Amino acid sequence: MVDERSVPAYTEAQAIAGMIAGHRMAGMEPTPGDVAAAQRGFRGESTAEDERVRVLAEITASRSAAPPDGQPLRD
């Protein structure tokens, strides 16, 4: 069992900087939306499940939107 007193307490800025650095090292630049989602999670404003639902809703909405003029419909 881990003694919680020995676990460092990170500030939001440190946690977000670590998330950004990890994504960059993996070759995946985080979007402003990614950073905002991490901030909401860190602050306890949302859960990973809340963010998953949010992303899936955005994907669904983008797929059901009409394509720009001159673009073919997507399957």
At 38-66, the pLDDT tens digits run: 999 999 999 999 999 999 998 888 887 66
Backbone torsions φ then ψ of 30, nearest 5 degrees = -70, 145
Task: Average the pLDDT over 29-36 and give the result.
Answer: 94
- Report residue 2's pLDDT band, with 50, 70 and 90 as the boundaries: low
Q: What's the pLDDT score for residue 19?
A: 94
Spatial contact of 75 and 69, defined as CB atoms under 8 Å apart: no
Instruction: Provide the pLDDT for residue 61.
Output: 87
pLDDT for the residue numbered 35: 95
The whole-angstrom separation of Cα 48 and Cα 53 is 9
The model's pTM is 0.67
